[in-house]
């Protein structure tokens, strides 16, 4: 047996355990959910669940609401995280040191505790309302939580630290010599950013977009605790359909549709990675 064959067998032996774990905990549940989603209440296979998913007014509003919250959250997270990462990369001082010491704190706070803190801070009788009442005699404040805005604020709290860490790692790999050379030939900050910094960190940016998108669209804790009763995020809607109405076929359809949305985002990421690898090898 040649050395190449032995190395191939060793590689397969190392990959098979992780593949089996992935197959059992991911592939099999997806297939079961897919089959269950095509069953009606009598156990016959049909498209009735998907017809209801796209024709029912409430379900359509849930889908639109979920996509709106997800897209807005992803855009805001990327803008804020990129700004923080760039600021920490190219600046020094007391403010930068304090940001580096504190921006990771939300990662270590459980989502339930963080959501409860947002309720206590932004609720109708929360800390912010009491401060505004005492300082400026503001007797009522606009609704912030139990609305779309509350979910987006919670998603910013959950996702900005991790995204900033990813982008900060990518920015730290950008050589100072490249930036200084661009400055020496008269390039401004915007030109340096769009011509040098953004292309050099684009791969990490795609990773961040993928993680944030999948995290937001599949979130449950914050949408359940501080989201509106209607419309709802798809995760909350699925729990209501399964737990309250005991309709596991419809819940399976919602779950598989959510998986498809995440799959499209994953496909976009993989395609960009393939294009980048081809351009490198060309």
CB 228 within 8 A of CB 152: no
Backbone angles phi, psi at 4, to 5 degrees: -65, -40
Name the helix (H) or strand (E) containing 53.
Answer: helix 48-55
CB 223 within 8 A of CB 233: yes
pLDDT for res 173 = 87
Length of the chain: 282
46-105 per-position pLDDT tens digit: 899 999 999 999 999 999 999 999 999 999 999 999 999 999 988 888 889 898 888 899
Which pLDDT band, with edges at 50, 70 and 90, does 270 fall under? confident
Classify 59-281 by CATH class: mainly alpha
Q: What is the DSSP letter of 194?
A: I
Cα distance between residue 127 and residue 120, in whole Å: 6
| pLDDT exceeds cutoff 70 at 281 | no
pLDDT for res 91 = 86
Residue environment code for 81-100, b if the CB has 16+ CB neighbours within 10 A, otherwise e: bbebbbebbeeeeeeeeebe
Which pLDDT band, with edges at 50, 70 and 90, does 271 fall under? confident
pLDDT for res 157 = 94
pLDDT for res 282 = 61
- For the four alpha carbons of 79, 82, 88 and 90, in that order, the dihedral sign comes to negative
pTM of the complete model: 0.86
10-19 per-position pLDDT tens digit: 888 888 888 8
The answer for residues whose C-beta is within 8 angstroms of residue 96's C-beta and 6 or more apart is 87, 88
pLDDT for res 184 = 83
pLDDT for res 126 = 79
Separation of first and last alpha carbons in the chain: 34
Number of other residues whose CB lies within 10 A of the CB of residue 241: 20
pLDDT for res 191 = 87
Cα distance between residue 201 and residue 173, in whole Å: 9
Number of other residues whose CB lies within 10 A of the CB of residue 217: 21
| pLDDT exceeds cutoff 80 at 4 | no
Q: Which long-range contacts (CB under 8 A, 24 or more apart) does 114-122 make?
A: 114/154, 114/157, 114/158, 115/154, 115/221, 115/222, 115/225, 115/226, 116/225, 118/145, 118/150, 118/153, 118/154, 118/157, 118/222, 118/226, 119/145, 119/225, 119/226, 122/150, 122/153
Domain boundaries along the sequence of the chain: 59-281
């Amino acid at each position: 047996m040649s050395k190449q064959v032995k190395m191939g067998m060793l590689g397969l032996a190392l990959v098979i355990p992780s593949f089996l774990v992935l197959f059992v905990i991911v592939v099999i549940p997806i297939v079961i959910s897919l089959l269950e989603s095509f069953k009606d209440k009598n156990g016959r296979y049909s498209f009735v669940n998907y017809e209801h998913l796209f024709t029912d007014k409430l379900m359509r509003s849930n889908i639109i609401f979920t996509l709106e919250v997800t897209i807005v959250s992803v855009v805001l997270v990327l803008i804020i995280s990129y700004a923080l990462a760039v600021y920490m990369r190219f600046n020094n001082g007391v403010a930068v040191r304090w940001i580096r010491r504190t921006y990771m704190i939300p990662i270590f706070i459980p989502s339930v505790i963080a959501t409860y803190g947002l309720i206590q801070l932004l609720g109708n009788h929360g800390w912010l309302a009491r401060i505004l009442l005492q300082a400026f005699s503001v007797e009522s404040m606009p609704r912030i939580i139990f609305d779309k805005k509350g979910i987006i604020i919670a998603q910013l709290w959950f996702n900005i630290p991790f995204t900033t860490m990813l982008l900060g790692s990518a920015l730290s790999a950008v050589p100072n010599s490249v930036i200084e050379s661009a400055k020496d030939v008269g390039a401004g900050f915007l030109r340096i950013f769009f011509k040098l910094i953004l292309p050099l960190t684009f791969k990490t940016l795609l990773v961040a977009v993928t993680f944030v998108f999948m995290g937001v669209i599949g979130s449950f804790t914050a949408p359940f605790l501080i989201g509106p009763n209607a419309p709802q995020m798809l995760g909350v809607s699925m729990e209501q359909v399964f737990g309250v109405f005991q309709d596991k076929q419809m819940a399976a359809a919602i779950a598989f549709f959510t998986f498809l949305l995440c799959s499209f985002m994953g496909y976009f990421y993989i395609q960009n990675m393939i294009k980048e690898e081809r351009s490198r090898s060309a």
